């Protein structure tokens, strides 16, 4: 969000979630606990990841997880991988 949308690193979770919903995207976050509370049926889902992962590990982990899945599988869901 900081790099692609020039949002502040201190942007509120709700603001980030609203932007993801407007853009028809899901949220990938290490802040799973707080974002999980924001997920609504029929709206953007979230995928939680561990904070200790490197960027390369995140890329591999998430790519493997979403590979072969329908994007509809993530709507309105909070999934921790």
Q: Read off the pLDDT of residues 61-79 as tens digits, 9 standing for 90 and up.
A: 999 999 988 888 889 999 9
Decide if 18 contacts 49 (C-beta within 8 A). no
Residue partners of 66: CB distance under 8 A and separation at least 6:
74
Q: Based on the structure, what is the number of domains in the chain?
A: 1
Q: Which residue has the tokens 């990938």?
A: 28
Decide if 62 contacts 47 (C-beta within 8 A). yes
Percent of the chain with pLDDT strictly greater than 90: 74
Q: Is the pLDDT of residue 59 over 90?
A: yes
Decide if 17 contacts 27 (C-beta within 8 A). yes
Specify the pTM: 0.85
- State the residue range of the domain holding 60: 2-80
């Amino acid at each position: 969000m900081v790099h692609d949308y020039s949002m502040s690193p201190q942007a509120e979770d709700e603001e980030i979630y609203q932007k993801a919903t407007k853009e028809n995207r899901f949220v990938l976050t290490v802040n799973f606990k707080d974002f999980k509370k924001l997920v609504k049926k029929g709206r953007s889902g979230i995928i939680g990841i561990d904070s200790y992962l490197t960027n390369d590990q995140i890329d591999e982990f998430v790519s493997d997880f979403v590979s072969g899945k329908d994007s509809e599988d993530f709507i309105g869901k909070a999934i921790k991988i």
